[in-house]
Chains A and B, each alone.
Chain A
């Protein structure tokens, strides 16, 4: 490959940001190209890069983060320098940089205030929040206000997130611990070296939820001094109650302390796993009837067995923590409230499928989870619970955190692989399936956070006892993300089979409930009189809807339904990767039609509804991936079940 570079140069700051990740360059060719003064004789005979650098293409996304974290945007010089260091063609890197919404290739202020305008926040006044923030900031404020899809803070809607690039001011900035002002963890340099250490970060973040314009503006002007976020356990109204399985440690253990985790039963499941051996673990998980909690409901045991039995090596384990489905925040609460449980579960999964490396792909909008997981990985490694010889059992396993950068589509399993590998986060077509050819073309088991965390009780209580929870076809406990018009929004744990009415009863169902969005933007609406729907995969299917990722978003009759439908359509249009025609253009046509009928009903809307149906059907049938295939679900259900435009 014969790379061509323009003559734009990085600034010292940009170069430092990249070098902090990749280490100092080996040759002046890579640094001061064009600057003959610093070239040595050796450089003139040095063709560096080549395969060694090209094989680290997967450092492209961390590299883009490094620059964006330090400077706030990615200039031509910075991008070219990064490409030179990694032997990546600049056109491709530009294609990657422009794919993610948290990056900018145009100059922008160092402080970005992301204001969530998604469904739950829209229902709680995000429009007023945006207007208030923009009114107060005015031009020249040095803050760029960006409307954001769901930030995963729906229980505290309306939500905002401040990201300030550049070294955080003051020595205290790095010592934020679990607080909202924490300087995010998992240093870039460490990622490059394969360690997720919690070094000081060059950027500061603050999470404000529920947000008022005053609080958001204040946090944007001084993210380091923002009020600390409330503890994750406050998102769990059942916290501390007896009978919980997945949530039992949340609010009970100190998420920063490995000892505390161990004293609350931590790492007993891993010990049991070593007793059972990999095949034994897979048998338990299969017998327990565990199916994926991310929405697809695929049997986990089958996936693990298929991965474990592949002759091709190495095998990889990927934890999908790119929780971006609007209305979903359970993985965040699990990771923030009980981070070691995920680390332990990943270790067990890695052991079962024969992987020695686990990638934890975490959405870029979760600074506190990043910090706590980074800490957990470091502590576990220091105590021999990760590394060359886990628990002295001769099994080597380590975990690397990879940060997403704002792209819902990267939650699609194959798009996630592309994202880690340093390509655009576009889904691959299947077959081949990930268990055969996944990350880096190798057999890969990918599971989401909630699925993995279920493995712990399966091993500690045994498959039989686990399978006794829930129904015959949907076994175990299930987490639900309840938000919108309820009295006590948050994460609820119920055994599969509880009804929608029971769940909403716990959360405080409003008198004037109009509808419930089940399963998030990719799910569907059900009516207020359908409270008997059993919350199981088979029960929701029988009722013509879906459980999806466990979203239960309550909408009362004060919320204008057409506005919510428009927001959902806008979400899919924004998040389409653009690869295939039915999704790339179909989502635009869907949004246009919804705009046309936003104020219309009956016969006036009929033509556009027919059009929506035709386009929706082709999107469902002909799109490459689940995004395009489900983009019409919610709107269709609102028309058919709620009579949205009658």
Chain B
């Protein structure tokens, strides 16, 4: 018995990927094909359960005959397409995009960023010491999670997760324009005055650590955060009958944060405030 319904079989699209024949189901993206073929393309705004906004442009590839590069995460594979993932042109754009990002925001908590910067020989410092940065102070206005937009790459994932793709609360949006664009709630108020319901689904999808659990934020500030020492245990939330899957991240015998598996066919990584943040009673030892 399979847990996931298979649906109607889809037609296969045949195209060329780096000179090799590739076959993917209709509707699959170039990125899907790359991953199936074991190619590692950097991605930031792409998320496994959200429709990517293709805004970060680190996944660009060359499509034969196209004037510009294409975002692998969003461009669907088409029959007969000739795609090259590792050309000088594609690598150049990825390098510059990484430089532009790293020179304007803090990527220190973005998984794999350092590795890609090295691989593409990006030199974010070459824009000089006066290069404009986002330069924002972390916003700590509630006890559950912290918004540190100095780390935000404007990937739109949190907006989509809070909006019509996951949570349907629509508490946050991109505001302003150009380099001044930011994620904010209405009237740029504190989170506590907004429509936020503290489900933490935005934190779940944030690829940079711009949104983080207050627990994690505080431990990082204190220098006690140690991912290597953490264990992860997936269990079932006991609060209500929905029965969402929770992944407890435990360090030194304390729960330090709660995430949720995205491949769960019912919840896809979504939780509510209780499952996400209501874990203190578990470790209440008095």
Partner-B contacts on A (CB < 8 A): 1-4, 6, 76, 79-80, 89-95, 98-99, 101, 105, 407, 424, 429, 431, 573-582, 584-589, 592-593, 596, 611, 614-615, 617-618, 620-624, 629
Does B256 interact with chain A (Cβ within 8 Å)? no
Asked whether B101 lies within 8 Å of A578 as measured between CB atoms, the reply is no
Q: How far does the Cβ of A504 sit from chain B's closest Cβ, in whole Å?
A: 31
The 8 Å CB contact of A587, one of B54, B154, B178, is B178
Q: Which residues of B contact A577 (CB under 8 A)?
A: 177-178, 181
* In the complex, chain B residues whose CB is within 8 Å of the CB of A4: 169, 171, 194-195
Contacts of B185 in A (CB 8 A): 91, 94
From residue B123, how far is it (CB to closest CB) to chain A in Å? 10
Q: Does B97 contact A (CB under 8 A)?
A: yes
Tell me the nearest residue of chain A to B171, going by C-beta. Answer: A91
- Do the beta carbons of A621 and B69 come within 8 Å of each other? yes
Contacts of A79 in B (CB 8 A): 186-187
B103 within 8 A of A: yes
Decide: A629 near B179, CB < 8 A? Known: A89-B170, A618-B92, A622-B57: no
User: In the bound complex, do residue A105 and residue B187 qualify as a contact, i.e. CB atoms below 8 Å apart?
Assistant: yes
In Å, the complex CA distance between A2 and B96 comes to 41
Residue of A nearest to B169 (CB): A2
- Within 8 Å by CB of A589, from B60, B95, B100, B189, lies B100
Q: With an 8 A cutoff between CB atoms, is B7 at the interface?
A: no
A573 and B57 contacting across the interface, CB-CB below 8 Å:
no
Q: How many A-B residue pairs have CB under 8 A?
A: 171
Is the CB–CB distance between A582 and B173 below 8 Å? no
Task: Answer yes or no: B93 CB below 8 A from chain A CBs.
Answer: yes
CB–CB A90/B195 < 8 A = yes
When the two chains form the complex, which single residue of A1, A6, A596 contacts B193, counting CB atoms closer than 8 Å? A6
| Given known A4-B194, A592-B127, contact A578–B176 (CB-CB < 8 A) | yes
Whole-angstrom distance between the Cβ of B227 and the nearest chain A Cβ: 26
From A2, A80, A575, B178 is in contact (CB under 8 Å) with: A575
Contact flag A580-B56 (CB < 8 Å), given A573-B179, A588-B179:
yes
Query: How far apart are A302's CB and chain B's nearest CB, in angstroms?
Result: 17
Q: Which residues B11-65 have CB closer than 8 A to chain A?
A: 53-58, 60
* Distance between Cα atoms of A596 and B185 in the complex (Å): 36
Say yes or no for B68: interface residue by CB 8 A criterion.
yes
**Cα(A84)–Cα(B197), bound, Å:** 19
- CA A105 to CA B177, docked complex, whole Å: 14
Q: A91-B194, A582-B100 are in contact. Are A592 and B176 (CB under 8 A)?
A: no
* A96 to B: closest C-beta gap in Å: 8
Nearest CB in chain A: distance from B154 CB, A: 7
5 contacts between A and B (CB under 8 A): A79-B187, A90-B195, A91-B173, A579-B55, A615-B100
* B57 lies within 8 A of A592 (CB): no
CB–CB B184/A407 < 8 A? no
| CA of A589 to CA of B153, assembled, Å | 16
> Does B281 reach chain A (CB closer than 8 Å)?
no
In the complex where A577-B178, A584-B179, A621-B68 touch, is A592 in contact with B55 (Cβ < 8 A)? no
